[in-house]
Amino acid sequence: MTVSDMELLRNGTVARAALIAVLAATLAACGSAPAKNDTFSLSAAASLEGPSAKNRQILVPQPSALKSLDSDQIVIRTSPSEIQYLAQSQWGDSLTKMVQAKLVQAFENTGRLGGVGMPGQGLAIDYQIVTDIRSFEVQTSGADTAVVVISAKLLNDRNGTVRAQKVFRATAPVAGSSNAAFVNALDAAFANVTADIVGWTLKAI
């Protein structure tokens, strides 16, 4: 074998090794790329009728919830004792933060309060709307149905007493099998619960 032949062989081996390295890196990058999730939000309730309370200002703290609910995952309940999460889908934020923001918007949309705010905004508060998300899921053990259950306490911020409390529940059928259909049903059930909470609060204060 001549010197030229040896040089060609060595160059070919180096080139093949470089190509293999590039292919391996490309495959590794493809394998580690995260799956793209569809991101969903909730709609705030439209303007609602109710008594005027322009002399009242309310605070809406972040709701409490179990860890399985307090995330950006969309809950699917397959049986009374088992939950899963909707594949390739997520909320735009943690569920408790989204519910808090949409409740504030719903109260503001009524135009019937002196002020509505979240903790840290410096409002002089008359009442707090303390909420707990007990269910925010699509149940699939029978006909696919969205179920939203939120308990609410109307807390007098001046003396710490509970003026009223109630558990609000709404359901909505899932019309279809797509991820968007599941989320639309949850949004519809949440809109009903939100409307009930806002109307109840305006009457109570």
The list of the chain residues with pLDDT below 70 reads 1-35, 46-49
Give residue 53's pLDDT.
86
Other C-beta atoms closer than 10 Å to the C-beta of 131 total 23
**Which domain, by its residues, includes 65?**
38-204
- For residues 42-62, one letter each, b for 16 or more C-beta atoms within 10 angstroms of the residue's C-beta and e for the rest, the string is bebbeebebeebeebbbbbee
pLDDT value, residue 6: 45
- In this prediction the pTM is 0.81
pLDDT of 34 reads 56
Could you tell me if 27 and 125 lie in one domain? Answer: no
pLDDT score at 1: 54
Q: Same structural domain for residues 83 and 141?
A: yes
Q: What is the pLDDT of residue 52?
A: 84
Domain harbouring 64, CATH code: 3.40.50.10610
Which residues have CB under 8 Å from 143's CB, separation 6+?
Answer: 173, 174
The predicted structure's pLDDT at residue 46: 66
Largest CA distance in the chain: 100
Q: What pLDDT, on a 0 to 100 scale, did the predictor assign at position 36?
A: 81
Same domain (yes/no): 3, 21: yes
pLDDT at 47: 64
Counting Cα atoms < 13 Å in the Cβ hemisphere of 184 gives 9
Is the same domain home to 8 and 54? no
Count how many domains the chain has: 2
